[in-house]
Structure formats: C-alpha cells, structure tokens
A and B are shown apart, each in its own frame.
Chain A
Amino acid sequence: MSTTFKQILATPQINERWQKIKQYFFLRESTYDMTNRCNLRCEGCYYYEGDKQHTVDERDPARWRQLMTAEKERGITFVVLAGAEPGLVPELCRACYEVIPHGCIASNGLKPFPADIRYRVHISVWGDDDESKTYRGRPCLDQQLQSFAGDDRAVFVYTFTSHNIDQADSQVQRIADRGGQVTFNVFSPPVNYSGPLSMDAASFHKTHDKMLELLDRYPRAVLFSRYNAEVHTDPEQSLHQRFKCPYPRQNPNTGLGLGRSFRQYRSDLTWDRAASCCVPDTDCVDCRHYAAGSAIVTARMARHTDSVQAFSKWLDYVDTYLAVWVMGYAKDENLYT
C-alpha cells in the first residue's frame, strides 16, 4: 500500500516546507515580449524564430500600463518580461511593475536595470568568454557582473550546451566569488534547429553530473536541486514527454491552470493561444528549458505524492523555482540529497 498524503505531511520537515511553498500558490503567470530589439544575436535564440520577431513594438508605457491593468483584472499575478531584450526598454518594464509587483525579467544583463523595478532579473550566461564570443558575438560575464554587482534581484542562468559543460566550473566560480547566485538551464533548440549546440545522450549525462558537482561545491551560490538535474537532463524524455506540458501550446483545455489563464504576448501586445508557452518556437519534443520546467514540474504535484521521497523531490524543485523567480523568497536546504 502506498503512502498517503497525510502520512507524507506527518514528517515535520516536509510539512514545514509544504506550508512555506503553499503561500505562493496564488502566483499566476503570463509572459510578455517587450521589444523585438536586442543588443546580441545568439546562436539558437528562440526569440528570432517564427513570426513574433516581426511585430511592431508598442512603445507607449501608458498602453503597457493599460494591458497590465487588464491582466491583473483577469487574475494574472506574476509577469515574465522576456524577448528580445527588456533591458532596452526599462520604461516599459517599469510600467508593468507599477501595476503587477511580482515578476521576473529575462535579460542578457549587459545593461543594469533601474533599481526601482524590483523584479527578479535572470541574466543569461553561455559558457566562457571565448564561447560567448563565438555564439553570442562578444564576451558577456565581466560586464554582466559589473552591471549587477551586489544586486539582490540578479540570478545568473548558466545554459548548458553540448559545447560548454566543462566551462561551467570557471563561470560559476566567477559568479560565486562575486557573491552572485546562479541556476542552470539546458539548451532547448528551436523547431528545425540544426546548429552545433544541441545535446545528445552523452552530453545530458555529463551535464547532469556537472550540475550536481557544482551544487555540492557552491551550496549557497547555486540555486538548484538533485531533482532539477534529473528531470532537465533526462536523455530519453523532454519535459513535455515526461510531464505533459500544461502550457496552451500543448494543452487544449481552457478550464484550469495555465491552459485557462496563461498568455504569451508579443511586443505589439497581441497574443496567439496556439503559440503560447514560456519559450515559443522551441521544439517541445526537445524542451528541457528551466522556465518551462518551473511551471511544468510544479503543476504535476499529484504525480509526486506516492512517497516521502517523491514529494521531497517535488518540494525541492518548487523551492528552487520560487527562489529563482520570486523576489524575497529564500531557498532552503534540499530535502532529497
């Protein structure tokens, strides 16, 4: 007979963590492309795939404020400001923040954000300086560290590709030495991508081991868990294949959860249900993206309630997700070690 949920929650440490994360169940996200401009061109960038890059930017903060007010009215409590580079339009980010105070900005981190916009800022890191020069056109980390020195909003996001697994040691050390925090992403190719960065079984395994090594070495700087590593580097199954993605692009149900409320707005403030997910134009059968997992794995709580171990893994995952995405949420020690 399997363990009941009540029995799982009888463990004080688990119950305490459960009560902590439950307070954030009110978060309901949507994502917004802020502009079609970017000061980098990165290999395999999902933004410059598909139609969304050709939209005409809405540059009027008042129109963005209007959109945010409407979003708030329909129940959105968390905004993710993404493509192409929100750092180029801080006045629009501010308009969003003034209406919806919980959110996150996905940035290349080359330009600092005004201090009054108290969203989490995710700063993308793609290998060492040479790697960055090759696949992003320039070295980035020095300037990123300078732009966000001592900034409690910043979380660096190291994206593993088939090329840069061993480079993670030096880059994470640079971030940790400067007192920064870092989490991990896995390169998830756009549809029809045929470039050099895609992973294979060997690189997934190697990435998995590297993630755990860095998590052990930098327990304060690295925001991650063993279960994050497991589900994001599964060579057999993408996140969608393993957990059935609940974003509208793969979920026809409009009655509940992300299928009901999630929208992905383009920079002209339009949205298309058929294309709506957190990383549009990414290939779902190869998606192991950290942003996708944050919603997908979290939504699948019911699959993790048959044992203390399974629920501990899920709690670690959600604890990591909240620490990475939500200002003011502090990560606890992982329960499953």
Chain B
Amino acid sequence: MQEKIAKIIIDELKLKDVTPATFDPQLNLIEDLGIDSMELTTIVVILQDEFKIKIDEDDFAQLTTLAKITAYVQNKKA
C-alpha cells in the first residue's frame, strides 16, 4: 500500500528523481517539499477514490508524511 500511495504523491506532485521504492516515508510533504494545502487536498481526493475511503477535512493536516498517510489509510481500511 505504501508504494501505491507514494506513486500517487509522485504523480500528482510531478516529483523527479524519486520512485515509489525510494520515497522517504518520513519526508515531510509540507515542511520539506513545500506542498500547499490545495496540492494536499488533491492527493486526498485521489486517495479517497483509490482506496474507497472518506477522509475527514479535519484530518488533512495530520497527513504530512508518506508513513502517516499510509497508517491513516490502513486504519480507515481496517
């Protein structure tokens, strides 16, 4: 699941020089990559479709790293 989420992030942010396998799960998307709230919202919408889950607006701010997003999605799917 983590690599699948990594691919969504890479595709949406058009990241270069990184693959789903090499994506650092602790990299902070906001602090380190500088993504904005609209980019994160777009990723959330795609994740909702892909994993058929509902992500609450109030939870967006905690989805800051690949590891946290993966844990969140796993929790929702459980």
A interface, CB within 8 angstroms of B: 4-6, 22, 25-26, 28, 75, 244, 253, 255-260, 298-303, 305
Q: A253-B61, A259-B61, A305-B45 are in contact. List 5 more A-B contacts (CB 8 A).
A: A5-B46, A6-B46, A28-B36, A301-B41, A301-B42
B61 & A256 in contact (Cβ 8 Å cutoff): yes
Given known contacts A28-B36, A301-B38, A244 and B45 CB-to-CB distance under 8 angstroms:
no
Residues of B within 8 A of A258 (CB): 37
Q: State the CA gap A253–B58 with chains docked (Å).
A: 9
Give the CA-CA distance A212 to B75 in the complex, in Å.
45
Contact between chains at B49 and A5 (CB < 8 Å)? yes
- In the complex, are the beta carbons of A257 and B37 less than 8 A apart? yes
Q: Which 3 pairs of residues, A with B, have the shortest CB-CB distance?
A: A257-B37, A255-B61, A256-B61
The answer to whether A301 and B45 have CB atoms under 8 Å apart is yes
The residue of chain B having its C-beta at the shortest distance from the C-beta of A4 within the complex is: B49
Q: Considering only CB atoms, which chain B residue lies closest to A303 in the complex?
A: B57
**Cβ 8 A contact of B44, one of A75, A255, A298, A302:** A302
User: Whose C-beta in chain B lies nearest to the C-beta of A25?
Assistant: B38
Q: What are 20 pairs between A and B in contact, CB < 8 Å? A: A4-B49, A6-B46, A25-B36, A25-B39, A26-B36, A28-B36, A75-B34, A255-B62, A256-B30, A256-B37, A256-B60, A256-B61, A258-B37, A259-B61, A260-B30, A299-B38, A299-B41, A301-B41, A305-B45, A305-B48
Asked if A299 meets B37 with Cβ closer than 8 Å, knowing A244-B57, A256-B61, the reply is yes
Inter-chain CA distance A17–B57, complex, in Å, is: 24
For B55, the chain A residues whose CB sits under 8 A away are 302
Interface hub of B37, B39, B46, B49 (most chain A Cβ within 10 A): B37
Residues 4 to 41 of chain B near chain A (Cβ within 8 Å): 30, 34, 36-41
- Chain B residues with CB below 8 A from A6, complex form: 46, 49
Shortest CB distance B56–A (Å): 10
Give Cα A253–Cα B49 distance, bound, in whole angstroms.
26
Q: Cα distance A163–B36 when bound, in Å?
A: 40
A residues near B41, Cβ cutoff 8 Å: 299, 301-302
Residues from chain B with Cβ under 8 Å of A302 in the complex: 41, 44-45, 48, 55, 57, 60
Contacts of A305 in B (CB 8 A): 45, 48
Please give me the residue from chain B that is nearest to A26 by CB atom. Answer: B36
B36 proximity list for chain A (CB < 8 A)? 25-26, 28, 257
Minimum distance in angstroms from B4 CB to a CB of chain A: 15
Q: Is B2 an interface residue (CB 8 A)?
A: no
Instruction: Check B70 for interface membership: any CB of A closer than 8 A.
Output: no
Among residues of A, the one whose C-beta sits closest to the C-beta of B39 is: A25
Residues in chain B near residue A28, CB distance under 8 A: 36
**Which residues of the other chain, B, contact A256 by a CB distance below 8 angstroms?**
30, 37, 40, 60-61
- Is B65 part of the contact surface with A, judged by Cβ < 8 Å? no
- Tell me how far the C-beta of A314 lies from the nearest C-beta in chain B, rounded to whole angstroms: 11
- Min CB distance B71 to A, Å, is 17
Min Cβ gap B64→A in Å is 7
List, in ascending order, chain A residues with CB within 8 A of B61's CB: 253, 255-256, 259
CA distance A177 to B41 in the complex (A): 41
Report the separation of the CA atoms of residues A4 and B30 in the bound assembly, to the nearest whole angstrom: 26
Residues of the A chain whose Cβ atoms lie less than 8 Å from the Cβ of B38: 22, 25, 298-299, 301
Report chain B residues within 8 Å CB of A25: 36, 38-39
Alpha-carbon gap, A303 to B48, bound state (A): 12
Q: Which B residues are in CB contact (< 8 Å) with A253?
A: 61
Query: Complex: how many Å from CA A305 to CA B34?
Result: 24
